[in-house]
Amino acid sequence: MSQPATTRRLAVITGASSGIGEAFARAYAKRDTDLCLVARRLDRLEALALELGQQHGIMAFAVQADLSKPEATDLIVGALAKQGRSCDILINNAGYSLPQTFLATKGREQIDFVAVLVTSVVSLTHALLPAMVERGYGRIINVASMVAFSSGAAGHTLYPAAKSFVVKMTQSLSAEVADKGVILTAVCPGQTESEFAKANGTDQLIAKSGLYKQTAEDVVAIAIAANEAGKEVVVPGWPNKLAVAFMKILPDSWTAALIRPQAKKFSLPDPKA
């Protein structure tokens, strides 16, 4: 199918139905960018696509996909082909966490978690990157977390490992394609005002913590600016930057001693046997 007669770029955004993903959609719509919005909640995606299309005069369409499933990438690629479009901007944002300890969860839950936060990022990037390289233009923002630099703690067991993978993948892939017109950025936010904590049941714990928090809109604005400036890794907010700096400088044993007692406050207790 031939490319539609439009000069607008197209952004594929995963986890676009709320939070940081929705903020990315709104930000790129304001930049006159067409949108392919991906998530499981089709009703919210379609409502957002309709709103942004009418408000900004762009084309926006929804793709219902569960990124824990192997067929998700094919669904997204197929939807793009049906529209006769290629991806110019990829936002790998979809994610969640499992606040209990590893053995308190089912193995399938952990495998699905890795599929969404790691495998789908690899799969979707690998599928959409070749066309970017061929055209000599591409932008990829991978949403990681400042915990990528931590020593890990009890609860949310695989989350630091998954986000560390995303950061390292971004850096390595950037080294491979930077001279081909493709810019990659890993954005590593801290606590962000979104539905993320509500989804895993820790929203009340975080609300009581008094931690420095940012809005999703602030995180997205910083991420897009960093990507446009060619930065591989960005940590939004000076308190988060300071915390990450300490995590990088101090020995792991020191950071573990500091982080792990605090991390307990944001994990749910394991169910009693």
Exposure of 139 in the CB half-sphere (CA atoms within 13 A): 19
Nearest to 218 by CA among 15, 35, 26: 26
Cβ atoms of 34 and 9 within 8 Å: the answer is yes
**Residue 252 neighbours by CB distance under 10 Å:** 12
The closest of 155, 213, 161 to 189, measured between CA atoms, is 213
Whats the size of the chain, residue-wise?
Answer: 273
CA distances to 113, 114, 132, 273 from 107, rounded to whole Å, are: 10, 11, 36, 17
168: CB partners within 8 A, 6+ apart: none
The angle formed by the CA atoms of residues 12, 17 and 20, to the nearest 5 degrees, is 75
**96 flagged as catalytic:** no
Q: How far, in Å, CA of 67 to CA of 115, rounded?
A: 7
Catalytic pick among 28, 96, 137, 159: 159
Q: Are strands 34-39 and 182-187 parallel, antiparallel or unpaired?
A: unpaired
DSSP 164-217: HHHHHHHHHHHHHHGGGTEEEEEE---SEESSHHHHHT-HHHHHHHT---EEHH
Burial of 234 (0-12, 13-18, 19+ CB in 10 A): buried
Q: Token digits for 38?
A: 């991906």
Give the residue numbers marked as catalytic. 159
